[in-house]
Amino acid sequence: MEEVKAKLGTLISEKKRSARPDNGASWEQAFRSTFDCLDRLGIGNDQVSERLRVIHIAGTKGKGSTSAFCESILRHAGCKKTGLFTSPHLVNINERIRLDGKSISDEKFCEYFWQVWNRLEETCTPEQGMPAYFRFITLMGYYVFIKEEVDVAVVEVGLGGRIDSTNVVNRPVVCGIASLGFDHTDLLGDTLAKIAREKAGIFKKGVPAFTVGQEEEAMESLRDCASERGVEFLKQSGSVGDYCLPEGSDQVRLGIPGDHQAANAGLAVSLCQTFQERVDLKLSPVVSQGALTLDCLKGLELCRWPGRGQIEKDNPGDGGAENITFYLDGAHTPESMLCCSKWYQGATKLALEASSPSSGERWLMFNCMRDRDPNVLFEPLQTNHGGDGATGGAHTMGFDRSFFVPFVSSTTSLKGDNQSDHKWENGLRGIWDKMLGRAAGGKGSGGREALGRSSPDSSGATGGSSSSSSSSSVCSVQAALSTLRTYARQNNTKQIHVLVTGSLYLVGDFLRILKRVP
């Protein structure tokens, strides 16, 4: 596996996230090269459509969760073999290609990797070289699903849709668009209409499509694209809570927590219902007479999507403390941070009420990529969304301690983070404390407008400036964990609820350190 990882590493051509892939080709050119690569692999894109039953899902937020729900629902509805392609991964690259809900084994990964690698290498020409990292892993995903003869291939778009490497299927069974918002605006456009148009690039002639409720500007753009592209229909899915329940069942339980998951699950139900009606597999119904079936409910409840709303107890057998609970969520956009913050406050409120509110504390471990605006990410974290507010700490939302921790993984260092200087993290801490200072000073909860757009790099490396600075620190993940565990052991009547958020890479680092590999 190490050799395979090293080879894959050679396909990461640039360190910058939005750098041009595939030897400097434009995104359009690079996308078109995916079709050539499929030919070189002996599986033209016609074959991908003929040999795979694909559910293709795009969106700004919730596309991964929706994909995971789809896979789980169909597995529980009787799909003998499921394939799920997602990105990015948290700990191991294998997570991106799942068979029957489990990451592909190292053995199979290596076996298929070499088949794909060797074929592509043998067919390189001066015009057609090796594909870049994401394109390669996408090609490999399709290759694996074809060779494994999966009944369904649920495919999550990597970025955008129209010219994403996954968009090489002429005729998916059904397409879905999860919640739309502002992200990757440098590549997708600076209005919701433009972003929606890029995402709707996965729509295909004669193929049905579903979307969740969207802002009108986005919905209008989706409708226009649907008619331009001649989709069979574009329908809006509802919340999973809108469905009736079968006899013997009193509620829908979702395996991925958070109120925001109801819309993702609703979209997944619509996609799976349409899939099940259109394919020649003997699947049990997903919805029957307007009610979710027991199989569907099981699929929703048993769905697992690590790093999103994941709750893990610390492990005392492995140096941990039994009174620590980690809440791991890779939110990294304003919308997802709002969902994450509401989920965390709700979950810890229940946990704090279950014990004694005064005996619990909320701690934060945070980092985000440098292309994010921490001002807008911090705002929902510092706002009380109707929970109990403070847990003993003095802040608006009541984090008793906050740590700004550098990334550990090599994946993130490849994305341009300098491991040795902590200027970025000190800057994050400075902004965090400044916002808290303003909030405490009676100027609201501290927002982008109030603060201006200060950036960590410009705010200097001095750390906090407000009275709350003593409760925030910059240190390594390991040092933060050590401080946390020592404190927890010394205060063993307290329950410590630790939110880890800001980046999926940080969540991946934690899962690796906690030895909870997905």
Ligand X SMILES: Nc1ncnc2c1ncn2[C@@H]1O[C@H](COP(=O)(O)OP(=O)(O)OP(=O)(O)O)[C@@H](O)[C@H]1O
Which residues form the interface with ligand X (CB under 6 A)? Answer: 59, 61-65, 178-179, 260, 263-264, 308, 329-331, 335-336, 339-340, 504
We find the least distance from the C-beta atom of residue 320 to ligand X, in angstroms, to be 23
Q: How far is the CB of 282 from ligand X (least distance, A)?
A: 30
- When the beta carbons of 179 and 383 are compared against ligand X, the nearer one is 179
| Structural tokens at position 446 | 């501290």
Give least dist CB 255 to ligand X, A: 12
Residue closest to ligand X when measured from CB atoms = 64
- Using CA atoms, how far residue 426 sits from 268, 350, 469, in Å, is 41, 33, 11
Pick 310 or 473: Cβ nearer ligand X: 310
- Min CB(215)–ligand X separation in Å: 12
Backbone phi, then psi, for 58, in 5-degree steps? -115, 180
Q: Which is nearer to ligand X, 38 or 90 (CB)?
A: 90
Q: What is the dihedral of CA 341, 18, 182, 224, to 10 degrees?
A: -140
Instruction: Copy the structure tokens of residue 109.
Output: 């990964």
Binding-site residues for ATP: 308, 329
Q: Report which of 365, 476, 473, 462 is spatially closest to residue 419, judged by C-alpha positions.
A: 476
CB of 161 within 8 A of CB of 200? yes
Minimum separation from the CB atom of position 132 to ligand X (A): 18
CA distances from 60 to 194, 323, 331 (A): 13, 36, 12
DSSP 244: B
Q: Residue 515 Cβ, how far from ligand X at the closest point, in Å?
A: 21
Question: Which of 105, 185 has the CB closer to ligand X?
Answer: 185
> Shortest distance, CB of residue 3 to ligand X, whole angstroms?
28
Listed in sequence order, the residues at least 6 apart from 420 whose beta carbon sits closer than 8 Å to its beta carbon are none
For residue 389, the tally of other CB atoms under 10 A from its CB is 15
In 3-state terms, what secondary structure has residue 399? Answer: coil
CA dist., res. 372 & res. 456, Å (int): 10
Question: Nearest Cα to 243, choosing from 298, 295, 284, 297?
Answer: 297
Q: How far apart are CA 37 and CA 132, in angstroms?
A: 11
Binding residues for Mg(2+): 87, 156, 184
Least distance between ligand X and beta carbon 58 (Å): 9
Indicate the pairing of strand 209-211 with strand 174-177: parallel
Whichever of 221 and 336 has its CB closer to ligand X, that residue is: 336
Helix segments in 19-178, DSSP class H: 27-40, 45-51, 63-76, 106-122, 133-147
Nearest approach in angstroms of CB 477 to ligand X is: 19
Residue 174 or 263: which CB sits closer to ligand X? 263
3-state class (DSSP) for residue 16: coil
Least distance (Å) from ligand X to the CB of residue 60?
6
Q: Which is nearer to ligand X, 308 or 401 (CB)?
A: 308
Our CA dihedral for 491, 493, 499, 505, rounded to 10 degrees, sits at: 60
Which helix (H) or strand (E) segment holds residue 177: the answer is strand 174-177
CA distance 178 to 89: 19
What are the tokens at 59?
A: 């969106």
Give the residue with the Cβ less far from ligand X, 27 or 182. Answer: 182
Place of tokens 């980092």: 367
CB closer to ligand X out of 134 and 487: 134
**Cα separations (Å) of 434 from 334, 446, 463?**
19, 8, 10
The tokens for 430 are 């400075």
Could you list the residues known to form a binding site, using ranges: 87, 156, 184, 308, 329
Query: Closer CB to ligand X, residue 59 or residue 299?
Result: 59
